[in-house]
Amino acid sequence: MFKKKKYKIISLLAILAILLIPIFNSRIKEFNKEKEEKLLVQKITNKEEYYAILEIPKINLKKEIYSTDDKRNDVEKNILVHENSIFPQNIILASHSGNRSNAYFKDLYKLKLKDYIIVYYQNKVYKYIIEEIEEQNKTGNLYLKEDLNERIILITCTKNNNKTQMIYYGKLKSISDI
| pLDDT, tens only, 85-144 | 888 889 999 998 888 888 899 999 999 999 999 999 988 999 999 999 999 998 887 788
Query: Is residue 162 predicted with pLDDT exceeding 60?
Result: yes
pLDDT at 7: 63
Domain 50-177 has CATH 2.40.260.10: yes
Residue 79: what residue type? Answer: I
Please state, as a whole number, how many other Cβ atoms lie within 10 Å of the Cβ of residue 70. 13
Residue ranges of domains in the chain? 1-48, 50-177
pLDDT at 6: 61
List Cβ<8 Å contacts ≥24 apart for 98-105: 98/157, 102/75, 102/76, 102/77, 102/78, 104/61, 104/63, 104/78, 104/79, 105/79, 105/154, 105/156
Mean pLDDT of 39-52: 64
Given pLDDT bands bounded at 50, 70 and 90, which one contains residue 2? low
Residue 87: what residue type? Answer: F
Top-confidence residue, 122 or 31 = 122
Mean pLDDT of 37-58: 73
pLDDT at 142: 78
**Between β-strands 80-81 and 90-94, what pairing exists: parallel, antiparallel or unpaired?**
antiparallel
| pLDDT, tens only, 62-78 | 999 998 988 999 999 99
Query: Is residue 3 predicted with pLDDT exceeding 70?
Result: no
H runs (alpha helix) in the chain: 2-45
Whole-number average pLDDT of the chain: 84
pLDDT at 17: 65
Select from 60, 108, 67, 89 the least CA-distant residue to 148.
Answer: 89
Mean pLDDT of 11-39: 70
Q: Tell me: cis bond preceding 88? Omega within 30 of 0 counts.
A: yes
pLDDT at 21: 73
Cα gap 42→68, rounded to integer Å: 20
